[in-house]
Structure 1
Amino acid sequence: MKNKQANQILRAWDLAEKISGGELDKKAKWFSGDIRKTAYQKRESGTINEKISQNNQSSDQHVTISLLYLGAYKKQDLRDSIQNIRFRDTEMVQNRDPAKGYSVALIVNSDWSFQKIEVPYAAYFYLKLRQENIEEAMHGQQYDDFKSQLSQQLEEVIDRKRADLAECLALANQIVLKTFKLAGTRNVGQLRGLFQIQDEPPMLNSFYTEDIERVLQASADDSLLLKYLGLNPDVATKQEVDQNRDFISKLLDVENLPDGRWPGPEKYFQSLMQQVAVNVIRDKGPIKTDLKTVNGPPGTGKTTLLQDVFADTIVQQAKVMAQLEKPMDGFRRIKPIELFSNCKYNAYELIPALQGYGIVVTSNNNSAVANISKEFPSRNKIRQYPNENREKQDEYRTQLEEIDYFSDLANRILETADSWGMFAVPMVSKANQRKVFKHINHGVLKKQLSVYSDSWADARQNFNTALEAVHQEKARLHRMISIVERANPSVVDQAYLELKVVDEGIEVLNQEIANLTQKIENTRHRLVTLPKKRFLIFWQHETPTHDSLRFHISNLNKKIEGLNERVADRRKERRHVVHLIAQQEKIIREVEPIQKQLKKEGIVVFNDDFWRQTNEKRQQALPNNSRVLQNKRARLFIAAMRLRKVFICEARVPISNAWEFFAHQDKLVFDEDTLALTAGFQIMQLLIPVMSTTLASVGRMFANFGENTIDNVYIDESGQATPASAVGIAWRAKHLVAIGDPAQIEPVVTTNEATLRTIARDFKVSEQYLLPTTSVQQLADQGSIYGMHRSNHTWVGIPLWVHRRCDSPMFEIANEISYENKMVQGKPTKLSQVERSRWINSKGKATNQQFVPENVTALARIMKKRRDEGKSLDQMFVISPFRAVVNGITNKLPKEFNDGAISKKWLQEHVGTVHRFQGKEADVVFLIIGTDQDTDGGADWAFSKPNLLNVAVTRARHDFYLIGDYHRLKSKPYAEVAARELPLLDN
């Protein structure tokens, strides 16, 4: 990139990511003795030459490698040492990183000959810091030479003709330990490795460094990436959306309501700010931008919002399809490509009008990716009526099942029997992609796309009819709303007040005229009676007083003329006001039946009455919408899916060929075949509209994709993701939407803050780019045009306020500690519900870091009680801020129950740190604080920010229990709110 500041930021991130890598793969296994026995089990020991002839006789004939980790160490121990010595930082780490690092990854071929080594930069970085060579640690100018020299040493050792390979490996490990000054490390004689790797090799450094370095080498700046980095010159053009009457009223005009909608219950509208977010994402706002962000607290409908966004995206592309005489008119042939010997496939691209509608959803949260992939195709997400109306026939679901959008393929890929169609598919790891390609290959597609009974003409007619129905309903609403908006009773009231003022003014003027007229009469009488001056004996003539009186009368007449003109003006004004009153009263009389109709249909209008409501009522309403329109919009999406299926089936050759190109990228020649791949991916997304992957997988999944090659990217749970993790996907995206909540779990960053600040200073960038608390969401917010200022003047994206998950008091706790009491409770209150949420006062002596055994005893007692009352254990989560407490619960809780109810599987799924449960929910949640007086620093850390408590409390739909020492913890920040809201129960 050309932008110097962007380069510095990216280089700083590159280093920060490199030093966070170098972790042992979790699948790595310990071995000792002859490694070949570990790898190949029943093979006998022997010389290396004897083994070479025997190795890798596997039936699949895949080329395999083995990878051995040398110079292993505990990453936290090494970081602590550097933190204490180099940075004089003695702050205790409350949740110690359990990860194991390695100094060298030794990669050997299937015959156990040396192939190469990889030295994670993290190991080199920490070595140079321990040697107090900060300049080299930061910039690694000698890194390549260091790696080359070490590679030569190890190659000589491994390729010696030794009888015992284990001896070679032990010697190699000793060289590495000495080189990296790890001689005192525990488990020196034990090694770990991965054997006969046939999948993609493990990521040896950070998941993100290759993409960052690729972007650094790009010849041109990417405008979207610059916005994400906060370097966009247009960033000053901010549009405040929260409580902005003029903006919201115009944005949510009925004509701006997206034509397509997800087929959910028609009675459930989006909330006010949900629809604002939907419309902005769908480019209905006054300012067009390719970077948008949404800030959604827990339970505010972020997934529901995305459903409508995706549905309308499908509808908009279907509008283009419906204009084509035949589906193949939507493609342009690029060229034939020989993928296999004597086997060529024609490459195609979509015509420009059909491009730009693909969707990729990504996150650093695996469960978030899984939820998108599983929820959107699920039949349970298609509902015309709420759950309480199950006896009614669900036409939405019935129609989609009749269309059968390749539900059989979806069920096989997702390993379920619940799919209505192949709307979303996970494309995470190479193994996962292979699974998809196994079920969606050339032969399968040829068969699947050949079986359909619909015709293109019928599908087009059906879609156009559904589209016209939406437009007609919009026009009906627009007419009624326009009339109602014109009929404004407040205008009449104001006019009557004006009329009163005018009449009073006329009366005052008339009185002034009368007074002046009287003065004239009096003056004239005086003039007549005034004696004249005699001249000689016969003549009399007037005195100067006569002249003065006549002049006075003239002036009074002029004043009366002026007052009469003012009276005339006032009477003219009065006639205008009277006409306005009559006109408005006529409109009001005419609009009465329309208002009754609107009220009958539950349609809300943007008028003064709406904006005079309380914020709670405003936020839960969606003006300019109707249940009829909801229904027609949902049916339009269904019609679009029908049209889409016929389009795909009649264009089976471009579709199946595109999948072949993506599945066999290794057969393509780059850069010559880049267009065939990227254009093919757009064609692939006709078949699967939504593809999901993790941020960590982006670099590999889209390794051959360059700048601006992915249409629409949505980063879910972006408040958890480190800023550097989104560089690759932002660079490839044409449009980017970040959705998350910085008030929940912060990104997991294991590098200590002092090191990150040092990197920021060295590269001369703001610390905000490197601080552990900075997330993708926060950074994207700063580059986003649409949003709001919080009370601390921080700019955030479009806020969502209506919360529909938690009962009281969980809602009140979260709202106060994290959301400035701006959230609105949208969940109906059940008066019969018993409030069971409590603070369980439980204390004792911590036995292992923060773990207090008495807390588990109290936990078990309440869990048993709730189980006896009929609450399933599967509807309970047990959460703690500390790994040590989670480990203690895992060991002790089964013994407390002593009836087999707490299985290993249950513990894995229902007990964990707060981070594990981000994005999940349960009926009952227990938060175990642990700690005692001696480990109170851990409690201070847990309550130093509202994030952990906020996430824990918002996992609970109905009941929340906080278990810990009430008297010690109640006064800590944010815990004091929980202490106030939760009734106390002594254990």
Structure 2
Amino acid sequence: MFSPQRVERVSKERLVFAALAGQPLPWEAGHELSGWRLRPDQTWQHVVYLGIYRLDELFEVLSRLFGPSPESYDERPAGESAVAAFTVDEHGHMLPDSLVLSSCAVATGELLRTRRVRTDLLSRLGAATEDLDESLQKRLPAVTIESEDGEPTLVSGVVDHRLLSDYQKVAVQTAGVDAALSFGDIRIRSQLVVRRDEDEPVANECCHGCNRPAARAANHDFLNSPIMRDLGRVAEKIDKGDVGVALRDYLRPETDLATTGRVDVRDRIDAVLAATAPRAVPAGRWPSHPEHALALNQQLAVSTALGTSAGILGVNGPPGTGKTTMLRDLVAALVVERARRLAALTDPARAFTGRQQRYVTGQRTRVVDVWQPDLTGFEMVVASANNGAVQNVTDEIPAADAIDDSWRERAAAADYFPDIATALLTGRPDAKQPQVVEQAWGLVAARLGNKTNRSRFLNTFWYHKPDKSRKGPGEGHTWSGMLAVLKGYEQTVPDVGWSMAVSRFRAAEARVEAVRRKRAEVYRDVERREHPENHLADLRHAVKVAADAVESARLRHGAALDAERERAAEADRIASALQAGAERDARRRAAAADQTLATAERQVEHLSTGRRATAERTLWSCEAELSRWLTAQAAHQRAQPGPWEWLRTLGEAQRRWSYHDGQLLAGVRQAQVALDAARAERAAVQVEIDVVQRAVDTARRQADEIRRTLAAGVPKPQVDHAPLTAARRTVASAEQELSTAVRTHRAAEDAIRAAEADLSALQARLVRAASALGRHFPDPGWHADRQRRESAALWTDREWNEARSDLFLAALALHKAFLRHNATRMRRNLQAAMDLVGGDAPADLAPEAALAAWQSLFFVVPVVSTTFASYDRVFGHLGREALGWLLIDEAGQATPQNAVGALWRTRRAVVVGDPLQLEPITTLPVRTEQAIRTERAVDEQWLTGRTSVQRLADRLTPLGTWLDGDGNPTWVGVPLTVHRRCDQPMFDIVNRVAYGGLMIDGTGTDTGARDRFQLAYPTLPPSKWIDVAGTGARGHWIPDQGRQLDRILATLAELDFDMSEVMVIGPFRDVARELDRRARRYPGLVAGTVHTAQGKQAEVVVLVLGGAPDRAGARRWASSRPNLLNVAVSRAKRRLYVIGDRQAWSPLPYFQILAAALPPQEPVRR
């Protein structure tokens, strides 16, 4: 809201006019523009600015509102803005929807009215704009006119002086600043636009003249922050979780950052060596001089960027350290990688998915073919808050002097549309005056961004047609734009088949990879070489340890054997004692056995002659008794009475017989029992005899055995002697230990012999590699010598550099071959891209169609540039992470908010800048910004005056180092350290002032340029400080210092010095205004504040310090940080002349170093 855009000052050269009473307005008859002769397709549009106010006055109003900052001395913004603006056509009719009301003016009005920061300022702005538009329309009734096609058209009335004055009053009242600010003239900026002829058909495509139509207002957010709308859009996306890696990381709070993984590249040389290994070196390289390799950290940045799939890489780029050089190699790498994927296609038509997107613009239907995902993600956008920065990058890349002379022939053979590129570099093809033709070598980059750049690109790149009748830049305009080129391709058969084009690329690629394999082998040798003597010492130590172990094992083995023998003797003595005891026991047992045998034999005899005889007699007696009873019984049975006897005796005889028979039976039974008992007794006696007999037999055997043992002798017993068992185990262990020690010793000796042989072979290979690679080889001195180490990347010697650069040019040739084989599809897609470039694509165009169109343009032109201010207008149709790469230059000057939209649309971002150069400039006083921050509950880290895009990127980058430029250690991303711009003493000054000795002086490699300068200007004095205190002051301007400056400029003019190589700068605007007056006297001279010098350089720089003698606080502000002095001094390539009060400035921080480095000189008085 508080980012008003500046309105240009009145300048007839720039077609900016004041609306002065009594003088015709630019659309009225009598104005000088009415005499211009225009082409039939040209007409005028005029932007009218109402309520012109000074930005420093606005700053003061806001400062008074919230209280001035005690540190605010010369922070006030310069320039003017306006409260409102609108556009009128060539006749003075106000164009519909062209009114813009300043968000800053409305927000300031609200602050003045409510004394607080409203959270709904955007809606308040919208409502105020509608109110103002309604008020203006009421004052300007519509009229009906006849259009060019004869149809009646309703337009607004013609704007005149009276209406303009009325409009201005209404505008400032609507904004609410009518009482707070003073307003100057009404200002009008006129511009030529091209009429559109919607009816001219060209193969269903747009024709030349497809620029923005005159009936529509030029796209302008010419008063408000150009990023305001896009920030709102992205904020809504973030609220819905629609955010990619890069922006998510960018917005991460400090408390969520993981800083433990940071690697300081100044300390961790091993990490740098690994990160720049041959495998990490990209296949493609810019066609610069083959001997001019990237510096080590440049290569580190390129390799690290290419090794990430998403996110942000911060690169610290102090002045003169080759930021563009680094970015060019990144460009070459990405072009080659895309070509590799192209080469994998057997049919170039397979680069597209087969899906098509269609949309209607005007009366035409566009068809867009969707790309295969593998061929996307290589889009490169260079963006910056500084228009000059992005222009420098994208103008330098295609310029002819961007490639080395040794590549001109090869680049010419690639023939990558150099005529179109040259025309884009030269300027407008329809320019009135002859222009200096800046030759280009190839169409690898182009400026987009603002409307002028986009229109010029559209007309030059796409629609240009040969016009041999015209003379001037571009060799009589005999070249054709891409539209005509592609149509020509459609009508002819490619002279080189796709397979042949791929084969040529593959051949170049094979050369690169063959060298890579050789470099990788050397790298592996280098890894093995690290601390080789330590390795050999370790092996020698291992041999000694093994030998000692063998000796120890032998001693332990001998001791174990001795101990075993002692324990064996002990066991033998124990066994002998046991043997003797056994013999005595045997004799005792023999005697006992004899005694037992005798006793048993006596028992047997006793039993046999005693009890057994008695038992047998008893048995015989019982058998006889039984026999008698049985005989008696048998006789009795025979005497049994018969029936008659029974009858005769009436049974008496029978009864007597039965009675006697019973007695006989009882006798028999009793005798039988006695017999059985006798038999049992006899058997029992026999059993006892058998038992005793067996005892006799056993006793006899035992006695016999004992006697035999005694006769044979009792053997010694096997003794289980525990100490002997332990000793034997010890012996076995010692034998195993000795065997192992001997094997280990032999292995160690074998290892050291092998290592010595390997080391000898390795050293021989490394010697050959060192000889072949020279300064690109990390020999032992490389680690110790930082200047040598960081001055050139490893491995990238002439052979590999030539192959890689050749591969880049082969990649461009393959891209061009692809265009020949896909001419129709590419023409259709590029036509859609031109709709987007020209602003003619539908607002609701499908993101997939827009993306495919942009991808097609990036296929042809790998790099385009834009400022952050124009990013939304260029890429507004694209969604999250749509584009592959964002390359942010001069990121230290960009406020954090600037990059949000670009980061949201990008997968990978390389952020290059320097927090120790000039920081973002804000139009908002510090306390006003703090009040807004507090009201919106925003963390202090997002204050625009406290941080930058660079600082936010650096904190996310794990590879980097610490800088202590202003006394507070600051972590920066990959540091580019080799400085190749400033001679001494300027280099030492900035290196001490800002970088703590981080930078390395690389200017020694370009002694030719220094010698040529010295030869051309031998009388030019060395750098010095001209001590001028001055007797009077006008603000911060010291006239006496101005007189010394005049003498210096006059001397340079007398030497016929190229004044475009002279820069005069100062820290204060009072000084800058006076310097600007000198610039008008010396064409080409660059003059202004130090801020305006950022990104520029000159052979000679004059720093005019100025500084009101009574305002010491202003000098303290200028010396509060190293940034201002760092930028001022680092602009100077050969000479630095400081004009100022040495006594007042030299005690101040950083200026002490300046004073110590520059000898003082009294002013020349004449």
Tell me if both proteins adopt one fold, taking TM over 0.5 as the criterion: yes
**Higher deviation after alignment, 763-772 or 701-710:** 701-710
Which residue of structure 2 aligns with residue 539 of structure 1? Answer: none
Q: Aligned partners of 2:1123 and 2:947: how far apart in 1?
A: 13
Matched, 1:260 2:446: no
Structure 2: state its 5+ residue gaps. 10-14, 144-156, 194-217, 427-436, 466-480, 567-720
Which residue pairs with 2:535 in the alignment?
Answer: 491
* SS of equivalent residue, structure 2 residue 1031: coil
Q: 1:553 to 1:263 in 2, by over 3 A?
A: same
Q: Look up the equivalent residue of 2:30 and give its one-letter code.
A: K
Deviation at residue 212 of structure 1 after TM alignment: 0.6
Asked if 1:299 is matched to 2:320, the reply is yes
After superposition, what is the alpha-carbon deviation per residue over 1:332-365, rounded to whole angstroms, capped at 9, x for unaligned? 4444747577754432122222111121111122
Give the alignment of 1:385-404 within 5 angstroms. 394=406, 396-404=407-415
Q: 1:402 to 1:762 in 2, by over 3 A?
A: same
SS for the counterpart of 1:40 is coil
Identity score, percent: 27
How far apart in 1 are the matches of 2:518 and 2:84? 70
The equivalent of 2:77 in structure 1 is 97
Task: Encode CA deviations 1:823-867: one digit per residue, 9 max, x unaligned.
Answer: 222332869989922222122035322111222333344455566
Instruction: Give per-residue Cα distances to partners, 1:921-952, cap 9 Å, x unaligned.
Output: 22222211112421332221111110011111
Name structure 1 gaps, 5 residues minimum: 1-17, 45-53, 385-393, 523-549, 895-901
Distance 1:919 1:103, change over 3 A: closer
- In the alignment, which residue of structure 2 is the partner of 1:962? 1138
1:763 aligns with 2:782: no
The 5 A counterparts of 1:210-221 are 210-218=229-237, 219-221=240-242
Structure 2: how far apart are the matches of 1:118 and 1:669? 22
Q: CA deviation digits over 1:880-920, x for unaligned, max 9? A: 112211222343x58xxxxxxx745323xx22222222222
Say whether residues 1:649 and 2:820 are aligned partners.
Answer: yes
CA gap of 1:466–1:955, structure 2 versus 1, over 3 A, is same
1:756 CA displacement: 1.0
In structure 2, what residue type is equivalent to 1:182? D
> SS of 1:72's equivalent?
strand
| Pick aligned residue for 2:422 from 411, 420, 423 | 411
Counterparts of 1:349-428 in structure 2 under 5 Å?
Answer: 349-383=370-404, 394=406, 396-415=407-426, 416-428=437-449
Counterpart of 1:545? Answer: none
Corresponding position of 1:182: 178
Distance in 2 separating the partners of 1:870 and 1:904: 12
Of 800, 816, 822, the residue aligned with 1:629 is 800
Which residue of the partner structure matches residue 1095 of structure 2? 919
Shift of 1:481: 3.8
Aligned match of 2:17: 29
Task: Decide which of 873, 880, 887 is 1:707's aligned counterpart.
Answer: 880
Distance in 2 (alpha carbons) for counterparts of 1:106 and 1:301: 43
In the alignment, does 2:803 pair up with 1:617? no
Q: Helix, strand or coil for the counterpart of 1:736?
A: strand
- Is contact 1:95-1:883 (8 Å) kept? no
Asked whether the 8 Å contact 1:336–1:344 carries over to 2, the reply is no
Whichever residue aligns with residue 228 of structure 1, its letter is Y
Cα pair distance change 1:622/1:156, threshold 3 Å: closer
Amino acid at match of 1:748: I
Aligned to 2:520: 478
2:226 maps to amino acid: F
Letter in structure 2 aligned against 1:265? H
Deviation at 1:743, TM superposition (A): 0.9
Specify the alignment match of 1:881 in structure 2: 1067
Q: 1:854 to 1:555 in 2, by over 3 A?
A: farther
Q: CA deviation at 1:463?
A: 0.7
Structure 1 residue aligned with 2:30, among 27, 42, 49? 42
Q: For the structure 1 residues 846 and 91, does the alpha-carbon distance in structure 2 shift closer, same or farther, using more than 3 Å as the test?
A: farther
- Counterpart of 1:818? 994
Secondary structure at 1:642's aligned position in 2?
Answer: helix
1:504-537 Cα deviation digits (max 9, x unpaired): 7777898999999999999xxxxxxxxxxxxxxx
Larger of the two Rg values belongs to structure: 2
Contact 1:241–1:788 under 8 Å retained in 2 = yes
User: Partner amino acid for 2:2?
Assistant: I
TM superposition shift of 1:876: 2.4
1:502 shift after superposition = 5.8
Bigger shift: residues 361-370 or 157-166: 157-166
Alpha-carbon distance in 1 for matches of 2:165, 2:286: 61
Matched, 1:456 2:498: yes
2:58 partner amino acid: L
Asked if 1:87 is matched to 2:83, the reply is: no
- Residue type of the alignment partner of 1:887: R
How far 1:643 sits from its partner (Å)?
A: 1.1
Moved more, 203-212 or 25-34: 25-34
Change (3 A) 1:679 1:760: same
The CA deviation string for residues 95-143 of structure 1, in whole angstroms up to 9 with x for no partner, is: 5433223223355565546856432121122122222431448746655
Contact 2:769–2:777 (CA under 8 A) maintained in structure 1: no
Counterpart of 2:856 in structure 1: which amino acid?
A: I
Q: Which amino acid aligns with 2:519?
A: L
* Alignment partners' CA distance in 2, 1:611 and 1:519: 60
1:78 counterpart = 2:58? yes
Contact 1:28 1:193 (C-alpha < 8 Å) held by counterparts: yes
Mapped to 2, the partners of 1:304 and 1:164 lie a distance apart of 52
State how far apart, in whole Å, the 1-side matches of 2:1048 and 2:560 are. Answer: 92
Q: Distance in 1 between matches of 2:358 and 2:232?
A: 30
Moved more, 248-257 or 964-973: 248-257
SS of 2:188's partner is strand
* 1:193 and 2:204 matched: no
1:809 deviates by 2.2
The one-character-per-residue Cα deviations of 1:367-390 (angstroms, maximum 9, x if unpaired) are: 222222221112222116xxxxxx
* Cα distance in 2 between the residues matched to 1:738 and 1:93: 31
The corresponding residue for 1:5 is none
Q: Which residue of 2 aligns with 1:536?
A: none
Structure 2 CA distance, aligned partners of 1:341 and 1:560?
103
Amino acid at match of 1:94: D
> d(CA) in 1 for partners of 2:321 and 2:1081?
33
One-letter code aligned to 1:856:
G
Give distance in 1, aligned partners of 2:1136 and 2:158: 63
Q: Aligned partners of 1:381 and 1:361: how far apart in 2?
A: 17
- Report how far residue 445 of structure 1 moved: 2.8
Q: CA offset at residue 641 of structure 1? A: 1.3
Sort the Cα spacing of 1:930 and 1:410 in 2 relative to 1 into closer, same or farther, 3 A: same
1:35 & 1:67 partners in 2: Cα distance?
A: 17
**Structure 1 residues 967-982: aligned runs within 5 Å:** 967-982=1143-1158
Query: Is 1:133 equivalent to 2:144 in the alignment?
Result: no
Whole-Å Cα distance in 2 between the matches of residues 423 and 974 of structure 1?
A: 42
Alignment partners' CA distance in 2, 1:680 and 1:709: 12
Q: Name the counterpart of 2:832.
A: 661
Q: Go from structure 1 to structure 2 and tell me whether the alpha carbon gap of 1:968 and 1:407 turns closer, same or farther (over 3 Å shift).
A: same
Residue from 170, 175, 188 that aligns with 2:165: 170
Question: Are 1:279 and 2:303 matched, yes or no?
Answer: yes
What's 1:331 paired with? 352
1:848-863 to 2 correspondences below 5 Å: 848-863=1034-1049
CA contact (8 A) 2:47 2:85 kept: yes
- Cα distance change of structure 1 residues 569 and 774 upon mapping to structure 2, 3 Å threshold: same
Match among 747, 754, 757 for residue 576 of structure 1: 747
Q: Which stretch of the first structure deviates more once superposed, 34-43 or 874-883? A: 34-43
Question: Cα 1:342–1:775, aligned 2, differ >3 Å: closer, same or farther?
Answer: closer
- 1:34-54 Cα distance to aligned partner (Å, 9 max, x none): 67544324289xxxxxxxxx9
- Kept in 2: contact 1:128–1:137 (CA 8 A): no
Q: Is 2:893–2:948's contact at 8 Å kept on the other side of the alignment?
A: yes
Output the aligned Cα RMSD.
3.9
Normalising by structure 2, what TM-score? 0.71
1:840 corresponds, among 1010, 1021, 1026, to 1026
- 2:167 maps to a residue whose letter is A
Maintained 8 Å contact 1:114/1:155: no
Give the Cα–Cα distance (whole angstroms) in 2 for the partners of residues 164 and 511 of structure 1: 116
Q: Distance in 2 between matches of 1:95 and 1:356?
A: 41
**In 2, distance between residues paired with 1:143 and 1:346?**
39
